[in-house]
Amino acid sequence: MSGLTVSSAESADVTCIAELVAEIEQYSYLKELFVRDVHRRHGVASALMAQLHAVAAQLRCCRIEWTADRDNPEALKFYEAFGATPQDTKVFYRQTVRPRQTFQPDVAFRPAFDKRR
């Protein structure tokens, strides 16, 4: 696994953030792409996407994947303008981590291939 952080920041002085995590010869996952409001519509995000594509190609990745909020139509239009297509083959999951909580699946759950039913 290799990674590239184009820019990361904790302050208001930073224009944008983009982080690419790549599995060589497979695919890249764009973890974050963020451009501050005052810098939007100046080509910053387009330049970041172009650079991310160049890095992914250099790493011999066959595709880049990422998520976007459904309630952000501007971002969705931006990505589609680059030729990206929304996928319905994946589901995005999130789980809250609580201190001192152990992770255990529901005891009633058994995968279909599990013959111990």
**pLDDT tens for each residue of 88-115:** 888 888 878 888 777 776 666 666 665 5
CA dihedral 64, 69, 71, 76 (to 10 degrees): -10
- Strand positions, DSSP E, the chain: 2-7, 16-22, 27-35, 63-65
Hey, what domains does the chain have and what are their CATH numbers?
2-81 (3.40.630.30)
**pLDDT tens for each residue of 11-37:** 455 555 566 665 545 778 888 888 888
To the question of pTM greater than 0.85 for the whole model, the response is no
Cα angle at 26 between 23 and 30, to 5 degrees?
Answer: 55
CA distance 64 to 51: 12
CA distance 80 to 104: 39
